[in-house]
Structure 1
């Protein structure tokens, strides 16, 4: 997103849309963020007629018409109360027109059915709620469905698996637009974890440990404070007073990922924050994040963000533009 300009986000709501997903989009893109020194989003809701929220909880008024989509940079489609029922012809036309002019398209939960019905997911990677994955695959065989992940970023089309995953995808969009430091700031204000990547599993059979003290939270917090160290899975297991094999199982059960993948993601996130804060020395960043060498830093940063350190610095310039760089003390 270009600095100094307003990025317009428009969410299409329909009769029976999920109010939680409406709240997610409003919280992330509609609320003002005066504490952040970046141009924020211009957010609007639109609909093709009167809207009654899910389960008849309330009726919305004062919502813009579908023509608001014509001027959107990002279009969000929330869940479909009945995925088997196609959206209205006017909604499908609005989605197709937005795709044709290059707008970014986003779906939450079964909103992927709307994008697929408009034909914009054909040949592309996407996800949907696990409960509807088989129905989606049968109805839209041309879509490359990834049914076990939280969200899929396929460039200008992004899909989230469920209502809670909409938060993960929304923060991912903010990170893409404004960088890791801003996304982390928004997550902190939401009191929301920032370690869930899109590739994590949707459905976790034991989301809450049987015994409170089996939570991974203490070891995660400890590792985040010591990312500059050459931590290994054995180190994490030792701090958690368990075996590496047990630690792997607990990471899979609680986070849907492996200890090494989580640790690498945390290191890269810290590297992004340091670059954004103005640190220019790749060797210093590599040491401070535990990535070791500039070459390893480049490899993992490109793998996670698609950008080289130089390109990332250009896209998300920090306060320091010269000299030896800022001190390595991320806030």
Structure 2
């Protein structure tokens, strides 16, 4: 049984939560490896980017992080208050714990800002949601990361991505790392997801 911790900050993006929830739910049903995805937060209830309220089953402070094989980090938005918790000491400490243990960390969209703030991306390739002249790219680079304008970037144990539309690919890549390429492809096919071309992975997000 593989266990993934999905850490949810207030202001998180619903689509990015759903990608991890569904991909690993399907993997547990039809894949070669059983999975449990556990979500946790810093408070008992959060409001997502677009106003959906969620009850959080687990408080981060109550968990033994050593019991988990990987960390999943959906992103969110500043107007919804995402960075208040995503850049908080407990959130960053959890990232550092998984990084120190050498376990996979999969982040979507602006959650790579938290990785950078945790000090784990220095000298590594990474991406983030950005626009021409945007501050998120500068925030990432200021933490010592090497910014790559690609939809998904892998470097060592870290997966980063450029927006909500990449969330499913991040989840499938994490699934591949925790099981196998064949298993990830099987789950993808059963969910009726197409595989992006190499061109998609190589295409800059801001032209």
TM-score (norm 2): 0.83
Aligned ranges 1:31-46 → 2 under 5 Å? 31=26, 33-36=28-31, 38-46=32-40
Is contact 2:26-2:191 (8 Å) kept? Answer: no
For residues 86-123 of structure 1, what are the alpha-carbon distances to aligned partners after superposition, in whole Å with 9 as ceiling and x for unaligned?
62221112211222222221110111111111111111
Greater helix share, structure number = 1
Superposed CA RMSD: 2.4
Using the alignment, how far apart are the partners of 1:159 and 1:119 within structure 2? Answer: 15
Using the alignment, how far apart are the partners of 2:125 and 2:172 within structure 1? Answer: 20
> How many residues are aligned here?
197
Q: What residue is the counterpart of 2:120 in the other structure?
A: 120
Using the alignment, how far apart are the partners of 1:182 and 1:51 within structure 2? Answer: 33
Pair 1:81-2:77 in alignment: yes
For residues 107-155 of structure 1, what are the alpha-carbon distances to aligned partners after superposition, in whole Å with 9 as ceiling and x for unaligned?
10111111111111111110111338742342333111102x1111112
CA apart distance, 1:204: 8.0
Pair 1:108-2:103 in alignment: no
Is contact 2:39-2:57 (8 Å) kept? Answer: yes
Give every structure 1 segment of 4 or more consecutive aligned residues whose post-TM-superposition deviation is greater than 4 Å. 83-86
- Unaligned runs of 5+ residues in structure 1 are 1-5, 206-331
Q: What residue is the counterpart of 2:59 in the other structure?
A: 65
CA apart distance, 1:179: 2.8
Using the alignment, how far apart are the partners of 1:77 and 1:191 within structure 2? Answer: 24
Using the alignment, how far apart are the partners of 1:13 and 1:115 within structure 2? Answer: 14
Greater strand share, structure number = 2
Aligned CA distance change for structure 1 residues 69 and 46 (closer, same or farther; 3 Å): farther
TM-score (norm 1): 0.54
Aligned CA distance change for structure 1 residues 78 and 194 (closer, same or farther; 3 Å): same
Is contact 1:168-1:196 (8 Å) kept? Answer: no
Q: What residue is the counterpart of 1:145 in the other structure?
A: 147
Aligned CA distance change for structure 1 residues 69 and 79 (closer, same or farther; 3 Å): farther
Using the alignment, how far apart are the partners of 2:30 and 2:3 within structure 1? Answer: 20
Using the alignment, how far apart are the partners of 2:147 and 2:177 within structure 1? Answer: 23
- Unaligned runs of 5+ residues in structure 2 are none
Using the alignment, how far apart are the partners of 2:187 and 2:27 within structure 1? Answer: 11
Is contact 1:161-1:202 (8 Å) kept? Answer: no
Q: Which has the higher contact order (CA 8 A, sep 6+)?
A: 2
Pair 1:21-2:16 in alignment: yes
Using the alignment, how far apart are the partners of 1:42 and 1:52 within structure 2? Answer: 24
Aligned CA distance change for structure 1 residues 202 and 19 (closer, same or farther; 3 Å): farther
Is contact 2:108-2:160 (8 Å) kept? Answer: yes
Q: What residue is the counterpart of 2:201 in the other structure?
A: 199
Is contact 2:74-2:111 (8 Å) kept? Answer: yes
Secondary structure at the counterpart of residue 185 of structure 1: helix
Is contact 2:127-2:147 (8 Å) kept? Answer: yes
